[in-house]
Structure 1
Amino acid sequence: MEQNESVVIQPKTVTSRITSIDVARGLVMVIMALDHVRDLLHTAALTQNPADLATTTPAIFMTRWITHLCAPTFVFLSGMSAYLSLQKQRASGPPSWSARSFLLKRGLVLILLELTIINFAFWFDLQFRTIMLQVIYAIGGGFVLLAFLSRWPARWLGILGLVIIFGHDLLLLVPPFDDQTARFIWSLFFRTDLFNFSPQFVVLVGYPLIPWLGIMLAGYGCGQLMERPAGRRQQVLLRIGLGAVALFVVLRLLNVYGDVAPWSAQKDGLFTLLSFINVSKYPPSLQYTLLLVGLGLLVMALAEGADNAMTRVLTVYGKVPMFYYILHWYLVHLSMIAMSLFQGYSLADIPAGPLNFGRPDGAGVSLPVVYLVWITLVAALYPLCRWYGRYKAAHPEKVLLRYI
């Protein structure tokens, strides 16, 4: 099997970063911060589901919906970057275990970060009464599995990723397990679920591993496309992106398979459109993945060869995604506390406990202020990310920097 891959893919060395990956990743990192600022600061965030068409507004809906682009694009690009990273390290043939072992270590580090530094950023709770397994858990777990799977041809893994993407919605038909241990194990791999292990300890599995692994493997399989010349690369990305979005439209119109929440006619045309694009993220449905990954690929296609102020700024964020991710959560949470104090609450008013971000009842700001805080935080992170990116590039000998 390893010999076959050496025939399919001729040995080559990828020596330079691909700007379109950094631009797309930077864009979704910037957009992602908007969702987290809204979650922690918006007045209605604790009481209103932004996707509930019976109570939401178009502005609130779209503020939430646009951030759906982030997780699938980020996971897809993680798979693509993993492929390109392995190609840098191989001399010939498929990646060796010494090269693939970095993926294993990287994945374990990401899971550790999720359980510690990142979860503390979510809740600011030294007792860790809530553990939320989100996108970093999914990427970390995906890297662990990919460390072993990557001995197989990238094309095969891409096909496996598509099988998972197109088929995992069927697993939602499996009834919930009565046994909590079995239900928890199933959830870690297949289904979003909440577990109240005690009154003071809760685990929320937001990103079950296998559905997101499918997206990562699809990105890994597409990594080969990024070895093509830039012009050809752009054409392929454009075709695949448009094809994915078109397939989404077809499946959505059929309203038969690919999402647990079918669309329906609403009170007016605008809300009917919102219903049409209101796809399911937890776990990522087929329709959700086709639409959002398709849009992510179109962003990459537009970024190919682009060199302007916007792409240069986005590249700064895109080169240091984990550094940005950790810092932005702490800044968002500190902003929520500052908002509460500014509005007259004291530290004693900040609630604590499982599934509690620590926002006092009644605290919050309007949606325009949410956007203002978001832009301010993203701007504040720019010089830090630029400094860290330059420092990281100047010190390749510092192994720890490869993980953050």
Structure 2
Amino acid sequence: MATPTAHVKRIESIDILRGLVMIIMALDHLRDYLHIDANLHDPLDLLATTPILFFTRWITHFCAPVFVFLSGASIYLQSLRKTKKELSIFLLKRGLWLVFAEIFIVSFGVTFIPFYNFLFLQVIWAIGISMIVLGLVVHLRFEVILGIGLAIVLGHNLLDFPEAAVGFKPNLLWEFLHKGGIEKIFGITVFMFYPFVPWLGLMMLGYCTGIFFTSKFSVEQRKKILLQLGFGLIATFVIVRFINVYGDPLPWAKQQQPFYTFLSFIKVQKYPPSLLYMCITIGPALLFLASIEKVQNGVTDVLRTYGRTAFFYYLLHFYLAHIICGVAFFLRGHTWHQAFEAAKAFPFLFQIGGEGYSLTVVYIVWICLVASLYPLCKWYDGYKTSHKEKRWLSYL
């Protein structure tokens, strides 16, 4: 059992990786808002996509699982300077705050529809609920938490079989826990993109992995363990995916072109995150953590800043991306009336299916958006560092 200490050195490699996935995440959201094909086709649809569009979407699959996994690792590191009771209370309060933020801050940023008749339960919701549950089970022994996490991650795809049965109709609780879906609740359309149970399992495994970032392990030992785990997860993905029976509800299939067969092979389910989805995203992430710890240069300094201000960045980037979408909407000659008329069919203000720009434009705007947020993140990071006595800052 971890003993609280007065000071625990911050692991900068975690911040660097978190910063990297936050930057990549903004690309996906800008593609949703600006790309001409965003509201017409799934970029992972092998019948409608192109390789560059496929990988523009696929690379962002790393963002949510890495963010959740690193949240768990950070919680374990917090356990070294908090008592179990203090950590439990903190997780319960922060989890509730994140659920509130998802519903009342993030959902509005996503839609810009002021009536709150559309809610999106995404990664912040999943992290919030997972923190609440972890706040309750953190009193259990380390081995028990590890066992629960493994059971969820390794076994939750067993639920794919009853879900695939003809006539299966999930109830509301089932959708919240595992399948996800779109439901009307008290007149509000709720998009449950992140049913939280698989994400909870991933956070628990991240929590348990946090032990390797403590003083119990040297840098060399940690690197060796992370490399073994990372390569092990990638090997597991390749072997289990090749067998094509378990681990993801969408089997891969041979395509007319060999390269598209490869794309089918790596196309795995995110909603909810399958076992193989978690293997192919967390595996490379662990390899990155193993390789980046001793690297210090201008690039890692920038990534570290984004990583240390991740939630602050997350909130700002959604609003800025949607504002850019709105400006582009009006520059194309549309009116406010057209904006609200279009929103009746598609719950995002300033978007009309089939309108938008090329991927080149999306990439240019992405680079500009990320760069424009850096000064704010740098300022906020400095403010947090110099005002550690302000406890509310730990929630943002």
Aligned residue for 2:352? 360
Deviation at 1:352, TM superposition (A): 2.2
Q: TM-score, normalised by structure 1?
A: 0.92
Q: Per the alignment, do residues 320 and 336 of structure 1 end up closer, same or farther by CA in structure 2, a change over 3 Å counting?
A: same
* Aligned residues of 1:121 and 1:329 also touching (Cα < 8 A): yes
Match of 1:339 in 2: 328
State the distance in 1 between where 2:185 and 2:79 align: 40
Q: What is the CA-CA distance between 1:220 and the residue it aligns to?
A: 0.5
| Inter-partner Cα distance in structure 1 for 2:142 and 2:57 | 34
Q: Deviations over 1:72-127 (max 9, x none)?
A: 0000001010110111124xxxx2x1232001100000000001011100101111
Distance in 2 between residues matched to 1:230 and 1:13, nearest whole Å: 21
Aligned-residue offset at 1:354? 6.8
Task: Give the equivalent residue in structure 2 for 1:61.
Answer: 54
Partner residue of 1:205 out of 185, 192, 196: 192
1:312 aligns with 2:293: no
1:274 paired with 2:267, answer: no
Residue in structure 1 matched with residue 181 of structure 2 by the alignment = 193
**Structure 2 residue matching 1:174: 3-state secondary structure:** helix
2:68, 2:94 → 1: CA distance? Answer: 14
Q: Offset of 1:348 from its aligned partner?
A: 2.4
d(CA) in 1 for partners of 2:63, 2:171:
28
Match of 2:385 in 1: 393
Q: How does 1:103-142 map to 2 (within 5 A)?
A: 103-142=91-130
What is the percent sequence identity of the aligned residues? 42
Aligned residues: 390
Query: Which deviates more from structure 2 when the two are superposed, residues 155-164 or residues 27-36?
Result: 155-164
Q: 2:344 is aligned with what amino acid?
A: G
Shift of 1:213: 0.3
Contact 1:129 1:354 in 2 (8 A): no
Shift of 1:229: 2.0
Paired residues for 1:115-264 under 5 Å: 115-175=103-163, 183-197=171-185, 201-227=188-214, 228-264=217-253
1:25-44 maps to which residues of 2 (within 5 A)? 25-44=18-37
* SS of residue matched to 1:190: helix
Q: For structure 1, which segment, 393-402 or 271-280, has the greater mean C-alpha deviation from structure 2 after superposition? A: 393-402
Query: Per-residue CA shift, 1:296-351, capped at 9, x if unaligned?
Result: 11121121111011111100000011100000000110111111112222232212
The Cα of 1:361 is off from its aligned counterpart by 4.2
* 2:37 and 2:354 in contact (8 A); partners too: no
* 1:16-75 alpha-carbon deviations (Å, 9 max, x no partner): 210110011001000000000001110000001111101110011000000000000000
In 1, the alpha carbon distance for the partners of 2:166 and 2:204 equals 28
Gaps of 5+ in 2: none
Out of 275, 299, 310, the position equivalent to 1:321 is 310
Hey, what's the Cα distance between the residues in 1 that align with 2:311 and 2:218?
Answer: 28
Report SS of the residue matched to 2:388.
Answer: coil
Question: In the alignment, residue 323 of structure 1 is paired with which amino acid?
Answer: F
Distance 2:300 2:188 in 1: 43
- Letter matched to residue 193 of structure 2: G
Decide whether aligned partners of structure 1 residues 262 and 13 sit closer, same or farther in structure 2, where only a CA change above 3 A counts: farther
Structure 1's 145 and 278: CA in aligned 2 closer, same or farther, altered over 3 A? same
Q: Calculate the aligned-residue CA RMSD, in Å.
A: 1.9
Q: Check conservation: 2:5, 2:82, Cα contact below 8 A.
A: no
1:273, 1:177 → 2: CA distance?
29
Provide the C-alpha distance between the structure 1 equivalents of 2:221 and 2:353, rounded to a whole number of angstroms.
Answer: 54
Equivalent residue letter for 1:262: P
Letter in 2 for 1:268: Q
Determine the C-alpha separation between the residues in 2 that align with 1:376 and 1:265.
39
1:302 aligns with 2:295: no
Aligned equivalents of 2:395 and 2:374: distance in 1? Answer: 20
Matched-pair contact (CA < 8 Å) for 1:237–1:297: yes
Quick check: 127-136 or 227-236, which moved more? 227-236
Contact 1:159 1:221 in 2 (8 A): no
